[in-house]
A and B are shown apart, each in its own frame.
Chain A
Amino acid sequence: MEFPDALFPSYFGTGPPREEGGPNPAAGWGEHGQVLEASPARRQAETAFVPRRGRTGESWEPADAAAVPFLLPNASCWIPSLAPQDILCRSTLRRKLRAGKSGAALDFTKQLGHFFVDHPEDAFGSLGQLLHKNFYLGNSKLRRPARSSTIRMTALMEEIDRLEARRGCPRQHLVSRLRWFSHLCRDWLFEVPLGLLADCVHEELLLQWASLLFDDSPTGGALAWLPPKDVGACVGQLVYPGGQAMNHLYFQDVVLEDLPRARGSPAHFELNGRIRQVAAAQVDGEDFVGVRSDYYCGVWRVPGRTGAAPAPLQVIRTGVPASCLTVSPHLPGELSVCTQSGAVYLWSVETGLQQLRHDPQTMFFRDHSPWRWSDFTAHPRVLSCADRTGLQCLDARAPERCHFDLFKVGEEAGCQQGERVVLPMYLGRAHPSQHLVTTQFSVYVLDERLPLVPVLKWAHMMKAPPLFAHLMPGGPGRSHKVLLGASRTQELLLLQYRGKRWGFFRRGGQSACQLAGPPQKLHSIAGCLQHLPAQLPHHHHLLQQRLSTPAAGLAAALQEDRPRESLLVFQLSEVGDVFCQRLTHEEEPCASPETSPAVPSPAAALRYRRWLKALSKGCREPPRHTWPPTIGQKRLFTRKELEVLAEPSALHGQVRQRLRQAMREGGRIQRWDSPAPQPPALLQPMGPAGGLDPLSTRLTAAWSGDWEQWWEDRMSFNIARRQRALRERRRRQKRARGRCSLSASFTSSLTYQSELSELSDAAPPPPSPGCPHVLSREDSPPAGSPRASASPDEALLSSQSLRCRGIPKERRKTLRDYLAVWAEGPPEPPEPPGSQASQLCIPSSQSQLSSASQPRRKRPRMGF
Chain B
Amino acid sequence: SSHEHKLNFKKSKELCLSYIQDAVLQKQWKRAAEFLTFYIESLEKDFSREYVGPSEIIWRIGTEILCHHSRSSMKEFNSFIEQMKTLRVKRYLKVCLEHAFHLLCNGLIDEAYENLSVAESWRFGEQTVIQDKEMKLIRAYRGVLDYYSWSKQKNVLMERGQDGFEDLSVEQEMHSCFRKAAVNLKEIIKIPGVWDLFVKCYVDLLEFYGDHDEARQVLNEYAYNSKFPANPNAHVYLYEFLKRHGESKKSLISALKILHDTVPSHELMIEFNTMLQKSKKRKKRRLGLKVIFAALDYAGWKENVKAWSCLARQVKQIVISEKRLYWIKQEWNSRKDWWPAFHFSRYLAKKNWQENESLSHEKALVAGILLGKDCKYFKYVSHQGCKAQVKRFRILKKFVNKHNPVYLRISR
Given the contacts A30-B64, A54-B67, A11 and B192 also touching, CB distance less than 8 Å: yes
**A590 is contacted by which of B70, B109, B133, B233 (Cβ under 8 Å)?**
B70
* B68 beta carbon closer than 8 Å to chain A: yes
- How far, in angstroms, from A590 to B29 measured CA to CA in the complex? 12
Given the contacts A3-B233, A10-B194, A47-B109, A26 and B266 also touching, CB distance less than 8 Å: no
Given the contacts A44-B155, A521-B22, A379 and B299 also touching, CB distance less than 8 Å: yes
Is the beta-carbon distance between A30 and B98 smaller than 8 angstroms? yes
Q: Which residues on B sit within 8 Å (CB–CB) of A55?
A: 105
* A259 beta carbon closer than 8 Å to chain B: no
* A31 beta carbon closer than 8 Å to chain B: yes
- How far, in angstroms, from A759 to B10 measured CA to CA in the complex? 39
Is the beta-carbon distance between B60 and A31 smaller than 8 angstroms? yes
Is the beta-carbon distance between A51 and B105 smaller than 8 angstroms? yes
Is the beta-carbon distance between B338 and A381 smaller than 8 angstroms? yes
Question: Would you give the shortest CB distance from A493 to chain B, in whole angstroms?
Answer: 7
- How far, in angstroms, from A331 to B338 measured CA to CA in the complex? 8
Question: Considering only CB atoms, which chain B residue lies closest to A19 in the complex?
Answer: B130
**A593 is contacted by which of B59, B70, B140 (Cβ under 8 Å)?**
B70
Given the contacts A9-B137, A54-B67, A433 and B265 also touching, CB distance less than 8 Å: yes
- How far, in angstroms, from A683 to B334 measured CA to CA in the complex? 75
- How far, in angstroms, from A428 to B29 measured CA to CA in the complex? 34
Given the contacts A381-B297, A596-B26, A3 and B64 also touching, CB distance less than 8 Å: no
Given the contacts A30-B62, A331-B342, A12 and B200 also touching, CB distance less than 8 Å: no
* A843 beta carbon closer than 8 Å to chain B: no
* A397 beta carbon closer than 8 Å to chain B: yes
Is the beta-carbon distance between B67 and A3 smaller than 8 angstroms? no
* B52 beta carbon closer than 8 Å to chain A: yes
Question: Would you give the shortest CB distance from A243 to chain B, in whole angstroms?
Answer: 35
Q: Say which one of A32-40, A636-644, A687-695, A734-742 lies at the interface with B.
A: A32-40
- How far, in angstroms, from A295 to B231 measured CA to CA in the complex? 42
Question: Considering only CB atoms, which chain B residue lies closest to A596 in the complex?
Answer: B26
* B148 beta carbon closer than 8 Å to chain A: yes
Question: Considering residues B25, B68, B200, B263, which has the most beta carbons from chain A within 10 angstroms of its beta carbon?
Answer: B25
**B233 is contacted by which of A6, A520, A596 (Cβ under 8 Å)?**
A6
Q: Say which one of A111-119, A313-321, A446-454, A576-584 lies at the interface with B.
A: A446-454
**A7 is contacted by which of B141, B233, B266, B267 (Cβ under 8 Å)?**
B233
**A520 is contacted by which of B25, B101, B200, B263 (Cβ under 8 Å)?**
B25
Is the beta-carbon distance between A30 and B104 smaller than 8 angstroms? no
* B61 beta carbon closer than 8 Å to chain A: yes
Question: Considering only CB atoms, which chain A residue lies closest to B100 in the complex?
Answer: A35
Question: Would you give the shortest CB distance from B223 to chain A, in whole angstroms?
Answer: 13
Q: Which of A1-19 contact B (CB under 8 A)?
A: 1-13, 18
Is the beta-carbon distance between B68 and A32 smaller than 8 angstroms? no
Given the contacts A31-B98, A35-B105, A518-B27, A379 and B298 also touching, CB distance less than 8 Å: yes
Is the beta-carbon distance between A10 and B148 smaller than 8 angstroms? no
Q: Which of B195-227 contact A (CB under 8 A)?
A: 195-198, 200, 227
Is the beta-carbon distance between A380 and B59 smaller than 8 angstroms? no
* B380 beta carbon closer than 8 Å to chain A: no
Question: Would you give the shortest CB distance from B290 to chain A, in whole angstroms?
Answer: 15
**B59 is contacted by which of A1, A30, A46, A461 (Cβ under 8 Å)?**
A30
Is the beta-carbon distance between B51 and A24 smaller than 8 angstroms? yes
Given the contacts A20-B51, A34-B101, A43-B151, A432 and B192 also touching, CB distance less than 8 Å: no
Q: Which residues on B sit within 8 Å (CB–CB) of A43?
A: 151, 155
Is the beta-carbon distance between A450 and B25 smaller than 8 angstroms? no
Is the beta-carbon distance between B299 and A432 smaller than 8 angstroms? yes
* A49 beta carbon closer than 8 Å to chain B: yes
Is the beta-carbon distance between A12 and B64 smaller than 8 angstroms? no
* B74 beta carbon closer than 8 Å to chain A: no
Is the beta-carbon distance between A30 and B63 smaller than 8 angstroms? yes
Is the beta-carbon distance between B51 and A48 smaller than 8 angstroms? no
Interface residues as binary, B320-332 with A (CB distance below 8 Å gives 1, 0 otherwise): 0000000000000
Is the beta-carbon distance between A46 and B107 smaller than 8 angstroms? yes
- How far, in angstroms, from A320 to B265 measured CA to CA in the complex? 37
Q: Which residues on B sit within 8 Å (CB–CB) of A518?
A: 24-25, 27, 64, 68
Q: Which residues on B sit within 8 Å (CB–CB) of A158?
A: none
Is the beta-carbon distance between A26 and B98 smaller than 8 angstroms? no
* B164 beta carbon closer than 8 Å to chain A: no
Q: Which of A381-397 contact B (CB under 8 A)?
A: 381, 397
Residues of B contacting A: mostly? helix
Q: Which residues on B sit within 8 Å (CB–CB) of A3?
A: 232-233, 236, 263, 266-267
Query: How many residues in B have their beta carbons less than 8 Å from beta carbons of A?
Result: 70
Q: Which residues on A sit within 8 Å (CB–CB) of B63?
A: 29-31
Question: Would you give the shortest CB distance from B76 to chain A, in whole angstroms?
Answer: 15
Question: Would you give the shortest CB distance from A653 to chain B, in whole angstroms?
Answer: 71
- How far, in angstroms, from A37 to B195 measured CA to CA in the complex? 13
Question: Considering only CB atoms, which chain B residue lies closest to A428 in the complex?
Answer: B299
Question: Would you give the shortest CB distance from B389 to chain A, in whole angstroms?
Answer: 28
Question: Considering only CB atoms, which chain B residue lies closest to A1 in the complex?
Answer: B300
- How far, in angstroms, from A363 to B59 measured CA to CA in the complex? 38
Q: Which residues on A sit within 8 Å (CB–CB) of B61?
A: 26, 29-30
* A330 beta carbon closer than 8 Å to chain B: yes
Is the beta-carbon distance between B56 and A26 smaller than 8 angstroms? yes
Q: Which residues on A sit within 8 Å (CB–CB) of B341?
A: 331-332
Q: Which residues on B sit within 8 Å (CB–CB) of A40?
A: 200
Interface residues as binary, B47-79 with A (CB distance below 8 Å gives 1, 0 otherwise): 000011000110111111001101000000000
* B28 beta carbon closer than 8 Å to chain A: yes
Q: Which residues on A sit within 8 Å (CB–CB) of B107?
A: 46, 48
Given the contacts A25-B57, A32-B98, A7 and B263 also touching, CB distance less than 8 Å: no
Q: Which residues on A sit within 8 Å (CB–CB) of B155?
A: 43-44
- How far, in angstroms, from A222 to B177 measured CA to CA in the complex? 59
* B347 beta carbon closer than 8 Å to chain A: yes
Is the beta-carbon distance between B231 and A30 smaller than 8 angstroms? no
Given the contacts A3-B266, A13-B192, A378 and B299 also touching, CB distance less than 8 Å: yes
- How far, in angstroms, from A25 to B24 measured CA to CA in the complex? 12
- How far, in angstroms, from A54 to B62 measured CA to CA in the complex? 14
- How far, in angstroms, from A862 to B134 measured CA to CA in the complex? 53
* B17 beta carbon closer than 8 Å to chain A: yes
- How far, in angstroms, from A3 to B235 measured CA to CA in the complex? 12
* B191 beta carbon closer than 8 Å to chain A: yes
Question: Considering only CB atoms, which chain A residue lies closest to B56 in the complex?
Answer: A26
Q: Which residues on A sit within 8 Å (CB–CB) of B267?
A: 1-3, 507
Q: Which residues on A sit within 8 Å (CB–CB) of B274?
A: none
Interface residues as binary, A401-434 with B (CB distance below 8 Å gives 1, 0 otherwise): 0000000000010000000000000001001110
- How far, in angstroms, from A46 to B107 measured CA to CA in the complex? 8
Is the beta-carbon distance between A12 and B194 smaller than 8 angstroms? yes
Q: Which residues on B sit within 8 Å (CB–CB) of A24?
A: 51-52
Q: Which residues on B sit within 8 Å (CB–CB) of A11?
A: 133, 191-193
Question: Would you give the shortest CB distance from A94 to chain B, in whole angstroms?
Answer: 17
Is the beta-carbon distance between B297 and A380 smaller than 8 angstroms? yes
Question: Considering only CB atoms, which chain A residue lies closest to B69 in the complex?
Answer: A593
- How far, in angstroms, from A11 to B60 measured CA to CA in the complex? 22
Is the beta-carbon distance between B24 and A29 smaller than 8 angstroms? yes
List 5 extra interface pairs beyond A26-B56, A450-B232, A453-B231, CB under 8 A.
Answer: A9-B195, A9-B196, A31-B98, A452-B230, A521-B25
Q: What would 22 A/B residue contacts be, using CB atoms closer than 8 Å?
A: A5-B196, A7-B196, A11-B133, A21-B52, A22-B51, A25-B21, A26-B60, A30-B61, A30-B64, A30-B67, A32-B101, A36-B197, A332-B341, A378-B299, A378-B300, A379-B299, A380-B297, A412-B229, A461-B21, A518-B27, A520-B27, A593-B27
Of all A-B residue pairs in the complex, the 4 with the closest CB atoms, nearest first, are A30-B60, A30-B63, A21-B51, A521-B25
Interface residues of B (CB under 8 A from A): 17, 21-22, 24-29, 51-52, 56-57, 59-64, 67-68, 70, 98, 101-102, 104-105, 107, 109, 129, 133, 137, 140-141, 144, 148, 151, 155, 191-198, 200, 227-233, 236, 263, 265-267, 297-300, 334, 338, 341-342, 345, 347-348
Interface residues of A (CB under 8 A from B): 1-13, 18, 20-22, 24-27, 29-37, 40, 43-44, 46-51, 54-55, 284-285, 329-332, 378-381, 397, 412, 428, 431-433, 449-453, 461, 493, 507, 518-521, 590, 593, 595-596
